[in-house]
Amino acid sequence: MTTTHRDIDAPSAEQIDQLKENLVRVEQLSKRLMDVLAQKKTHNPGLDAPNQELFARAASSYWAAMAQNPTRLLEQQVQYWGKSVQNFAEAQQIMANALKSDEIEAQTAEPPRSTDRRFSNPMWETNPYFKFLRDQYLTNAEAIRTAVEEVEDLDRVDRQRLGYFADQIINMMAPTNFLATNPDALEKALETDGQSLIDGLENLVADLEANDGELIVRLADETAFEIGRNIATTPGEVVFRNRMMELIQYSPTTQTVHETPIVLFPPWINKFYILDLKEKNSLIKWITDQGYSLFVVSWVNPNHDYADVGMEDYIEEGFLKAIEVTKEICGTKQVNAVGYCIAGTTLSLTLSLLKQRGDKSVKSATFFTALTDFSDQGDFTPFLQNDFVDAIEAEIGEDGIMPHYIMARTFSYLRANDLVYGPAIRSYMMGETPPAFDLLFWNGDGANLPGKMAVQYLRGLCQDNRFVTDGFELFGHTLHVRDVDVPLMAITCETDHIAAWKQCYRGVQQMGSRSKNFIVSQSGHIAGIVNPVSRNKYGHYVNDDLKLDADAWMDEAGFHEGSWWPRWEAWLKKRSGKQVEARAPGAHKSYPVLGSAPGQYVRIKARG
């Protein structure tokens, strides 16, 4: 790549006018920025970092070990110094050769230092300035990770937390995150005469204004989607509504349906339409096409009036009520129930309660990526310790609501480069409009959580793991995982970073059912579930022996190409009864149509 020089000419009248216009925009945007930051609500600082005792213990342990074995510290320092000098020498070599040839080329025979997508611009290899920045950053990152690994006398949880927060610091300090050290952003600024930076500032201010001063990077172009128009469009009707949920009965697409209806409970951390993004990947549409009466719960997006709503309210006014209404509409004694993520966890609690009450309303249960045993908290370990949960309780405070951005930020920072820094660079430095991507649109459409329910879940289930140990107290009952004794199928996902399949497997092993089926789909928490048959993209693993430990189960599992959907449907069909005339929504006189799908609750936007 040869160097070029732009001729310096007197600016044209058009350029001067553009400059004036840009200066006015900058002034206006700066005022908006100051206004929104001045109105920003403060949040508990404990949500931003762990208790400083963690770092103090780690530092004390590290230096104590080095005092006992100073040779190890010297070896690390010599390696660090050597790599730093090598980085500088390579940059000097490129510069010297560039002066001779008037070209900037990669002068080393070694392969590129990194295949990281953040460093895909050729200038990270060919320009001595950027090459040195990148190489020294990677050297520093390696040194930090090595230091963390060398820390002794920390238990597993503290070691995992220390590693997580060290990685967060490493990711945050990447040279790509700063304008002066990001060649893509600098080139774009030159190409657009600075317009990209003004557009980026506009994007930044708009994101802050949309979230009351809290910086949540917009991942998708929200103007490209409208719920009910080009997303969540499967025909159906709302047939019941209470303060907790709307129950949607989807219109049949076959003349006859299986007698036993399906009630599907999606998570209430995000909206239900992840299962109905568009027709070609809609699980909701596919289920109705297979000849089932399908009812789906759409949870309310709670405000401050829901501060005292707990897990018991979600069970009583959500799960149990939806099951009751579905049975009445369909004239059946039982339903087949499905729970996704936290709704799968709560479905397990509900099944334990029904067992103890002698209620056989649920014929079978299906769990999508649902945790019941939290003895290993996986990637969420850093956030499920007392200092963070204490901070969440303090943040809930008098308002009684856990703001949606807390969960959104937690999930995002588990994949910070993909969901935080990368989108921020494109939006704020490059001035690009976020993509029109339905999955990312859904991801940004979060929901608040009632304070009482959030604390019950975090303390009683996640931290204390009561459901599989001493039991979880609700409704005067001690609920336990062993009470889940209906025929069940659990679908988990191989690379799920939210509900790891091995943890889900451990919970299913402890359930009391004599008929258990377990599937591991390829891909992650969303793509492994939203895996339509037509795409034939991700396969799945099956093994009937659930007495094995997780690793042995996978070693002996059979792999099957394609979606797990048909396998689940074949299992469900055996538990769904005879064929009956298709049921039209609103046909039951006690449950008239209240409005068309996807209903009203799904349209309520979260506010902190």
Strands 335-340 and 262-265: parallel
Whether residue 431 contacts residue 190, with contact meaning beta carbons closer than 8 Å, is answered with: no
The CA-atom distances, in angstroms, between 402 and each of 75, 207, 357, 446, 459 are 47, 20, 32, 12, 14
Measure the CA–CA gap between 387 and 389, rounded to whole angstroms. 6
* Strand, coil or helix: 302: coil
Q: Where do runs of H (alpha helix) occur along 414-498?
A: 416, 422-424, 438-443, 451-455
Place of tokens 């400059």: 19
Number of neighbouring beta carbons within 10 Å of residue 244: 23
Considering only CA atoms, which of 511, 454, 446 is closest in space to residue 210? 446
Burial 10-38 (b: 16+ CB within 10 A, else e): eeeeeeeeeeeeeeeeeeebeebeeebee
* Burial of 213 per CB tally in 10 Å (0-12, 13-18, 19+): middle
Measure the CA–CA gap between 274 and 277, rounded to whole angstroms. 6
Q: Per-residue DSSP letters for 6-66?
A: ----PPPHHHHHHHHHHHHHHHHHHHHHHHHHHTPPP--GGGTS--HHHHHHHHHHHHHHH
Long-range CB contacts for residues 70-78, cutoff 8 Å, separation at least 24? 72/150, 76/143, 76/146, 76/147, 76/150
Residue 40 has which token pair? 């920003």
Peptide bond into 598 cis (omega under 30): yes
Strands 540-542 and 558-560: antiparallel
Tell me how far apart the terminal alpha carbons of the chain are, to the nearest angstrom.
50
Place of tokens 């560039």: 98
Catalytic residues: 341
Amino acid 189 reads A
The angle subtended at Cα 381 by Cα 377 and Cα 386, nearest 5°, is 115
Measured on CA atoms in the order 461, 466, 471, 474, is the torsion positive or negative? negative
The CA-atom distances, in angstroms, between 303 and each of 308, 316, 317, 449, 606 are 11, 19, 17, 8, 8
Tally of residues, the chain: 608
